[in-house]
Chain A
Amino acid sequence: MGVALEKLPGIVERFPGGSVAVTQLDQAINLARSNSLWPLMFGTKCCAIEMLMATGAAHHDLARFGAEVARASVRQADLMVIAGAIVKKMAPRMRLLYEQMAEPRYVIATGSCAISGGPFMYNSYTIVRGADEIVPVDVYVPGCPPRPEAFFWGLMTLQKMIREGETIREPGIRRKPVMAALPEDVSMHDIRREICSALIEDNVVDVAKAADEKPWARKVREWIQKSSSR
């Protein structure tokens, strides 16, 4: 009610007074969307090795974030990772790819090349100084190239934005992308450690303790005592 769901994040109806209706259903849908991003295999330069290949491989494993289904076809993808420099010859093609992508679609620009032109900003006659000139970008991931962990931070930022409905765009209004730089006192090692410990917590089960909590545990214990005292 109030929100045209199938058009999210395209059109949001406004109530008098400027507020926007976000219903419970939206939250559920956004949660689902944020956890099943399908990135497009689209890399132009060095960043593609780190962003799309290294993160997709076993060591860094993008699958932990539910975004490992890299698609070769634009029609099946909803996340465009702009990995690398965009030059003037490529820019119209990139726009075409973006327009062919399934809605709702999200864009992450990784690397300084895609953010501002990066190392090629000065004296280059072909570079597009920022992918945001061509397609609306949601999240920037700085670095040259960003580490895979930094890319994950950017992805997590995007997921959070999707969950909170912040990726909704209004027609005709240009919004600034969010810079997913790491907070000042957080280092790569912290993130690695946290991901590691989260994985261990999730995956390691204390069998004895888990068994003790089961309703049949008391019966088993009594039975063992009886049989040992006999």
Chain B
Amino acid sequence: MSVQIRTLEEHLHASPQADSELTTQEYLVNMGPQHPIAHGSLRVVLRLDGENVKFVIPVPGYVHRGVEKMCEHLTYRQIIPYTDRLDYLSAIMNNWAVAKTVEKALGIETNARIETIRTIMSELQRLQSHALWWGVTGMDLGAYTAFLYGFREREIIGEIFEETIGARLTMNYIQPGGLMYDIQPDFAAKVKKLIPYLHGCIAQYETLLSGNTIFQERLRNIGVMDGAEALALGCTGPILRASGVPLDLRATEAYGVYDQVNFNVVVGAVGDSWDRYYVRLHEMRESLRIIEQLIDNVPEGDYATLRYNEELILPEGLHYGQTETARGAFGVFIDSDGKRPHPRRLHFRSPSFNNMWVVTRIAAGWRIADFIAIQSSLDLVIPDIDR
């Protein structure tokens, strides 16, 4: 008796229904606004065929508070706390964008101490933000341990912030013409102790997650986007750099004291989810390098050049300033009438908003599980999208 071996394909062809075509039907699925992957309340409508994603439609607006409209009633100092609440993971960089715009418009000079402290604090916050993102990405892809490790570092850096700034999340630290408070006397010593520790932590991240086969399989060559497309979509930050475009405002615009320090702009080669992951890990190392170079000699000087009750009236016209936050370029666009201490109109260019639309281009054709990895690698902060 002989056994006939057939492949699945042959089986299908041999089956009686072979000529009656099997058809599938597309359907729509709502993800969010309450969904663990949404990291807040982003609603995504997926057009699916079985498990394959055909099309993705993000529906933002579930945390729209109208911050830009509210800012028309506020003075420039009062606007700064509201920028904390947009992208709360890079609050200090957001503060800086407003302060920078106001300083440029009014021609306010700051001293070297202020700029150095601003730079150090920004880089610390970038580390904190990336550490959180690393943990949450791990959690999204099924590695809960990563979440605990990511938060371990976040708390350690947070304690340094707390000592100087007095806040854990909503910093409100950088003001037009200076800082809110001077740094604590033992700030430098503590940060210096932190640097080798964090280097060790990043090495630990690599062994914990980067080397994991499952993790690599789920990220490598998933959601590939080339540089031209990323630029066309208006992406900034690690997402753009992962696609191979070396655009980093810290290097190209060189605000603060970024022109006095050595650091590399990390770029990816392929533009897939894995590159977006790896660019962020390397950026953490670069941030540590920047802090290393600055922490030893913070110049002496005042920590504020303006009095806090000084009325700031911007000259008539349009003013724009931007900083590189952990997610990309955060821009502040102010239209002032030159008479009142409030802006006439104000617009925030938030990085997450542009980065969000990437999913419409790169998620199609992948499975739902890959869509999770893609969205996770984009590192979206929803209140930054909705404002």
Contact = CB atoms under 8 A, between A and B. Distances in A.
Interface stretch (B29-37, B221-229, B235-243): B29-37
Contact of B66 (A58, A93, A124): A124
Nearest to B139: A53
B296 to A, nearest CB: 29
B155 A54 contact: yes
Contact of B62 (A46, A49, A87): A87
A145 B82 contact: no
27 contacts: A41-B34, A44-B41, A45-B40, A46-B84, A46-B170, A49-B88, A50-B168, A53-B132, A54-B151, A54-B155, A56-B147, A57-B135, A57-B147, A57-B151, A57-B152, A57-B154, A57-B155, A59-B155, A72-B35, A84-B63, A89-B61, A93-B33, A93-B62, A120-B67, A123-B69, A123-B73, A145-B168
Interface string A24-42: 0000000000000000111
A56 B36 CA distance: 14
B190 interface: no
B315 interface: no
Contacts of B73: 122-123
Interface of B: 33-36, 40-41, 61-67, 69-70, 73, 81-82, 84-85, 88-89, 132, 135-136, 147-148, 150-152, 154-155, 168-170, 382-383
Interface of A: 40-46, 48-50, 53-54, 56-59, 72, 74, 84-85, 87, 89-90, 93, 97, 119-120, 122-127, 144-145, 147
A57 B70 contact: no
B355 to A, nearest CB: 18
Nearest to A72: B36
Contacts of A58: 148, 151-152
Contact of B151 (A46, A53, A145): A53
Nearest to A74: B34
* Majority-rule SS of A interface residues: loop
Nearest to A61: B148
Please provide the 3 A-B residue pairs with the shortest distance between their CB atoms, ordered closest to farther.
Answer: A57-B151, A46-B88, A59-B155
Nearest to B59: A89
A41 B35 CA distance: 8
Max chain A C-beta neighbours (<10 A), residue from B41, B132, B169, B383: B41
Nearest to A118: B85
Given A54-B155, A87-B63, A126-B64, A144 B170 contact: yes
Contacts of A85: 63, 65
A50 B170 CA distance: 11
Contacts of A59: 151-152, 155
Contacts of A53: 132, 136, 147, 151
Given A49-B88, A145-B169, A126 B383 contact: no
B48 to A, nearest CB: 19
A44 B62 contact: yes
Nearest to B35: A72
B169 A125 contact: no
B155 A42 contact: no
Given A53-B136, A59-B151, 20 more contacts: A40-B34, A41-B36, A45-B382, A46-B170, A49-B132, A49-B169, A50-B168, A54-B154, A57-B155, A58-B152, A85-B63, A87-B63, A90-B63, A119-B85, A125-B66, A127-B65, A127-B66, A144-B170, A145-B168, A147-B168
B85 to A, nearest CB: 6
A72 B31 CA distance: 12
Contact of A90 (B33, B66, B150): B33
A151 B63 CA distance: 22
B148 to A, nearest CB: 5
B371 to A, nearest CB: 16
B62 A89 contact: yes
